[in-house]
Amino acid sequence: MFYLIGLGLGDAKDITVKGLEIVKKCDKVLLEGYTSILTVGKDALEDFYGRPLIVADRELCESNIDDFLKEAKTNDIALLVVGDPLGATTHTDMLLRAKEYGVETQIVHNASIMNAVSCCGLQLYNFGETVSIPYWTETWKPDSFFEKIVGNHSRNLHTLCLLDIKVKEPTEESLTKKVRQYMEPKFMSVKEAAKQLVQIVENQTDTGISKSSLAIGLSRVGAPDQKIAAMSLGDMQNHELGAPLHSLVIPAPELHPLEIDYLAQFR
C-alpha cells in the first residue's frame, strides 16, 4: 500500500492518530520536504515517530518516486506531506502513477492553509480562488496572479495568497555544470509579498486595490507562535512577522460584521 499522509501545519503532534499509526507500521516513510515546511524539522519528527525518515526532495518526488511506488506493491510505504497531502499537483500525479503500477493507495487528510486561514476570522465561503505569489528577479516580474486578486476583490471575495518557497533550488550558474549546486532555502515573507504587490498597484491604478487597501499577514498558522496582523498593504511592507511560513490575505472590500469584529484584535 502507498500512503499519502498529511502532517497538518504546526509541529509533530499535528499528525492525526490514524496517520501516526500508519507511520509506525510502514516499511519505509518518506518526508516530502520542498512544497512546505513544519515549524519543526526532520529530527523532531523522527524522535516523535521513533523511526528514521527518508527526505524526499523535488527530484525524488518528480522523477525517482517510481521505485518506491513499485515497492509499495508488496510493502507499506508512506509519503508525509506538510498540510493536506493533495495540496500540490505532484502528489495527485503520484497517485495516478501508483494506479498504473497496480498499487493500492490511501490518503490521510489533514489541515492545510486553505482551510486554516479561517483563523484570521474571515469566513472560508467568502474566499475566491487562491493565488501563488512567486519571487521576482531582476529580469522576471510576473504579475498575472494580481488579475485573480482583482477578480475576487471585485466580486467581494477574499484572496488567500500563498507565498513562494525555494528549497533545494539549483543555482543558475550550476545548471550548465556537472555538479549541481543549490541555493540557500528561502521563504517569502508577507513583507516581501507586500512590496511586490505595492509595485503592481502603483502601476495599475484602477483596480480597486491600492497601497491603502487592507491586508492580513499570517505566520506559522497552527503553531503556538502563530502571528496575525491586519494593516494597509503599504504598512505591511515594513511589518516583520517572524519565522516562516507566511501567508497573505487580501480581504474583500466589504466585510461581514463578524469578520470586522474578529479582525479588530489583529489591527
Task: Cite the annotated binding site for S-adenosyl-L-methionine by residue number.
Answer: 9, 84, 87, 112-113, 163, 221, 246
- Residues numbered 219 to 258 that lie near a copy of itself (CB under 8 A) are 221-222, 256, 258
Closest CA to 217 of 254, 255, 244, 178: 244
130 is an interface residue for a copy of itself by CB under 8 A: yes
CA 68 to CA 98: how far, in whole Å? Answer: 10
CA 69 to CA 65: how far, in whole Å? Answer: 6
127 forms beta bridges with 158
| 74 in Cβ contact with 7 (< 8 Å) | no
According to CB under 8 A, which one of 112, 196, 213, 219 is a site residue for a copy of itself?
112
Return the range that interacts with a copy of itself (CB under 8 A); candidates 55-63, 84-92, 174-182, 243-251: 84-92
37 is an interface residue for a copy of itself by CB under 8 A: no
3-state secondary structure of 84: coil
Return the range that interacts with a copy of itself (CB under 8 A); candidates 66-74, 125-133, 168-176, 234-242: 125-133
189 is an interface residue for a copy of itself by CB under 8 A: no
Residue 157 C-alpha cell reads as 471575495
Write phi, then psi, for 167 (nearest 5 degrees).
-125, 130
Least distance to a copy of itself, CB of residue 265, Å: 7
166 forms beta bridges with 186
Helix axes 42-49, 17-25, angle to 10 degrees: 80
Instruction: Compute and round to an integer the Cα radius of gyration of the chain.
Output: 20
260 is an interface residue for a copy of itself by CB under 8 A: no
8 is an interface residue for a copy of itself by CB under 8 A: yes
Residue 118 C-alpha cell reads as 479561517
118 is an interface residue for a copy of itself by CB under 8 A: yes
In terms of CB distance, is 6 or 244 closer to a copy of itself? 6
- Residues numbered 143 to 162 that lie near a copy of itself (CB under 8 A) are 151, 155, 157, 162
230 forms beta bridges with 216
Residues lying near a copy of itself in the complex (CB under 8 A) are found at 6, 8-18, 20-21, 83-84, 86-87, 89, 92-93, 95-96, 99, 107, 109-112, 114-116, 118-119, 121, 123-132, 151, 155, 157, 162, 221-222, 256, 258, 261-262, 265
